[in-house]
Structure 1
Amino acid sequence: MRRLIPVVLAVLLVAGCSAAGSQETERFGGTGPFTLVIGRDTTAYLQPLLDRWNQTHPEERVSLLELPEAADEQRAQMVANLQAGSDRYDVLGLDVVWTAEFAEAGWILPLDRAMFPLDRFLPPVVDTALYRGKLWAVPYTSNAGLLYYRKDLLAKEGFEPPKTWAELRKQARTLRTKYDIGGYAGQFLAYEGLTVNFTEAVQSAGGQILSPDGTSVTMDVARAKAGLDFLVDGFREGWIPPESLSFKEEESRMAFQEGKLAFARNWPHAYGPATLSSVADKFGVTRLPGLNGPGAGSLGGYNLAVSAFSKRQKSATEFIRYFTSLENQRRVLADGSFPPVWAELYDDPDLIKRFPYLPVLKQSILSARPRPASANYNQVSLVIASAVSNALTPPFEEAGDDVVASMKGQLDEIIRVR
């Protein structure tokens, strides 16, 4: 009997390991139908790409779950699901600023770099998917802010597209008065879009808010005040219309393509719909202006990650390889007007003929700055959006340097907590 006990224990141990191994295989190597979770598709380009996958992968069909348009709301729904440990989501379409937070929280899985042709992607775009030396997602679309302008109205007045804030102010004031049109608008509702617009203004004045690794507040008060004053003066003087305080991306896009704005800051996806609108053939795009010359936009876009709680992680990973392939990236641009991540597509003559703004967009992406890789980015964004929103709202009583100093103090507290 004493000789049998070790044998029995060994058998039980092997059986237990086999069961655990089976669970691990199911958990981390599982295949089968899965779900892509991503922000709302406003251009109807996405489903045809999913249909192509489903036609060739009948046992691994992907279902689309669209979240709200606003990035803040997308994040809130994803976080609620992941905090609960739910396996409802498999492939996550993440705003590029969420990589650090989701990786730090253990909500997404590190990926094998060798599986993806990262050397053929735009370098700044790849950086948004890295955290602490590991690849946590794969770039799917990129983004950088652009200035949309009414080239027909500028031509009538003999204006060149503005390169500085002073030129933008002068032109916006002139066109507003002469053509009864709104001068300039961006995304000024108190959400992530306002954080981006303010960050771009600070960068375009030669400053920054946090260090690139998100571990310290590096805000120069004078440069940040210059960026804030650019926006506040626009509202105070009327060349930024007051209704734009409620604008997100879609509201500003619609206002421009309906002929209600002379200038608009927006992402590249607004280009395609504008070509089918009342301003088709009447508009152009250029880099964002800055204090003393072309400004620096914020790097945006989506990365695709695999949920740590998915039971179909092998299928999810293979889908990401498919979805970020060169062929699909071409469709992302051609059908959705979203900036691809493959560098060579920006130099394709056929695509440039169809999308003349590609050289400008490539330069904008290469000169754009990524938002800080901070696990507390959501708190950082909330502080910035709230402070800037208060400053932009009449009666404009709080001095710009006081707003910036208060903001800097709150950001210091957030960074120290981490």
Structure 2
Amino acid sequence: MLKMNTHRQMRTVLIGALLSVVVLNACAAPATPSAVREVEVTREVEVTRQVEVVREITVTATPEATAPKPFEGQSINVLTIQPHAVATRALAKWFEEETGARVQVLVVPYANVTEKAILDVTSGAGEYDVIEIWYPMLGKLVESGVLEDLTQWWEENKEALQFDDFVPSIADPYTLIDGKRWALPYDGDTHLLFYNRELLEKYGVKPPTTWAEYREACKTITEQGKSEGIYGCAIMGAKVPIILLSTFINRLQGYGASFFDADGKPTINSPEAVAALQELVDQLPYALPDPKAVAFDEALGGFTTGKVGMVEFWTDLGQMSDNPEQSKIMKKWGAVPMPKGEGPNAASRPALNAGFALGISTLAQNKPLAYEFLKFVGRPDINVRVNTIVGGLDPTRKSTFDAEAYRKHVTPELADAAKAALSGAFAWPTNAKWPEMQDVLTENVAEALAGTKTPQQALDDTQAKWLEILGK
């Protein structure tokens, strides 16, 4: 009797436990619809020596399926310059997020980007798919067989990508050689004259409108502030074409001089050009030491640390000056157009100093993806997006200067000043002989700054060599 009761009690407990499991499963939140399989489990239950068959249902959750991205698993290499590393890496990240394609960004000093691109093709290495181009080197790169002809691609995409929105003064110089398109505008560079409001007010000077006023303002600040490590200006005089010639051309244009006459004959030793170089030499004693060794980083550091009153610099300096991670002069700066020189042809004339485009290598390993990357970078919305980070780029599109996000990022005043500076800005030559010619000019201007040649002698020597190079 006791044994029978014990068996019944055991059976009651087991049946109750089984019912509890069923009830709990019924009350549980429904599982994500996915793979469901039935498993038949045979158990021997010690109740009355009888075998029970219990049916279990096991639910296995599986991840929701996601649509593959269009270029998942593909990759390209992009050659860029050090000052644009942040921007190019941001673009690479956004492109991967949108397409799944990986972009490896390869960074080199700005002075070496052209030789790297040419060597990559002439050696047959084919390491780079997309190449950043300093636009005065465009003719040389085309002549060297480095760049794909993008003329057809431009025609096919000009409406979708609104190519007529590119700033007119840069669209052709950045991309056009012998009637064909070879690149996409990437960085719309020109200079403004930036100044530290606190320093100018402290030393009683105003933002200059002429180069003579600039020299006097530099002199005043340096003579009074030098003992405290304060200088009136930073002049970028390092013997690198993109640096030294930008500085010289700012004055060359201000005095109304040019490289060539209407017939293409060099005029680099004109009276206006000599006066421009003499003015530059006369400004050196009042600049951040030593001007002949000052390049991008030195000028940037001097200005953002509050040690320099004025600097002629690219328009993204406003973003960097308001960046708390690198600046001590947040909201304490201003910017005005480049000063003008003296004489009947004097005017405030900005130049396209530096300025970069993107092209596709003729040895690109994945040309279709390289074209897709250019299409991505060329979109108007991406131009706004990349110019609202502190990444070293300046707008290439008219619409970006008017975009609310950009104007808020750099201030409306700087946006308007940069837009005006690019309007009709002077473009450097882009023909295949220009690299050799600019090296001659760089060497002679550097000698004038060092005092080993007078400005007149330096430019006379340049004129003679240019005529030889051109066969005139």
TM range (shorter): 0.7 to 0.9
Counterpart for residue 177 of structure 2: 131
The answer to whether structure 1 residue 382 and structure 2 residue 423 are counterparts is no
**Structure-2 separation of matches of 1:211 and 1:134:** 25
Alpha-carbon contact 2:233-2:311 (below 8 Å) kept: yes
Number of residue pairs aligned between Structure 1 and Structure 2: 379
Closer/same/farther in 2, CA of residues 212 and 313 from structure 1, 3 Å limit: farther
**Structure-1 separation of matches of 2:403 and 2:97:** 29
Counterpart for residue 39 of structure 1: 81
**Structure-2 separation of matches of 1:325 and 1:182:** 42
Counterpart for residue 105 of structure 1: 144
Counterpart for residue 400 of structure 1: 455
Alpha-carbon contact 1:299-1:365 (below 8 Å) kept: no
Counterpart AA for 2:231? G
**Structure-1 separation of matches of 2:176 and 2:457:** 35
How far is the alpha carbon of 1:190 from its aligned partner? 0.6
Counterpart AA for 1:47? R
Q: 1:261 aligns with which of 289, 296, 308?
A: 308
Structure 1 segment 132-281 matched on structure 2, within 5 A: 132-157=178-203, 159-180=205-226, 181-192=230-241, 193-210=243-260, 216-235=265-284, 238-275=285-322, 276=324, 277-281=327-331
Alpha-carbon contact 1:271-1:337 (below 8 Å) kept: no
Alpha-carbon contact 2:384-2:405 (below 8 Å) kept: no
**Structure-1 separation of matches of 2:331 and 2:251:** 29
Closer/same/farther in 2, CA of residues 260 and 156 from structure 1, 3 Å limit: closer
**Structure-2 separation of matches of 1:195 and 1:80:** 25
Counterpart for residue 358 of structure 2: 304
Q: 1:367 aligns with which of 413, 421, 424?
A: 424
Identity rate, percent: 22
Output the TM-score relative to the length of structure 2. Answer: 0.76
Q: 2:402 aligns with which of 333, 347, 351?
A: 347
Counterpart AA for 2:81? G
Determine helix, strand or coil for the equivalent of 1:254.
helix
Counterpart AA for 2:189? N
Q: 1:119 aligns with which of 151, 161, 164?
A: 164
Counterpart for residue 22 of structure 1: none
Counterpart AA for 1:57? T
Counterpart AA for 2:252? V
Closer/same/farther in 2, CA of residues 43 and 72 from structure 1, 3 Å limit: closer
Determine helix, strand or coil for the equivalent of 2:188.
strand
Q: Which has the higher helix share?
A: 1
Q: Which moved more, 1:175-184 or 1:313-322?
A: 175-184
The answer to whether structure 1 residue 90 and structure 2 residue 129 are counterparts is yes
The higher-RCO structure (CA 8 Å, 6+ apart) is 1
Structure 1 stretches (4+) deviating beyond 6 angstroms? none
Which protein is bigger by CA-based radius of gyration? 2
How far is the alpha carbon of 1:164 from its aligned partner? 0.4
Counterpart for residue 18 of structure 1: none
**Structure-2 separation of matches of 1:40 and 1:398:** 33
Counterpart AA for 2:410? F
**Structure-1 separation of matches of 2:299 and 2:165:** 33
Alpha-carbon contact 1:142-1:299 (below 8 Å) kept: no
Counterpart AA for 1:153? L
How far is the alpha carbon of 1:88 from its aligned partner? 0.9
Alpha-carbon contact 1:300-1:370 (below 8 Å) kept: no
Closer/same/farther in 2, CA of residues 151 and 110 from structure 1, 3 Å limit: same
Alpha-carbon contact 1:150-1:284 (below 8 Å) kept: yes
Counterpart for residue 387 of structure 2: 333
**Structure-1 separation of matches of 2:287 and 2:113:** 28
Gaps of 5+ in 2: 1-72
**Structure-2 separation of matches of 1:227 and 1:151:** 27
Counterpart AA for 1:44? V
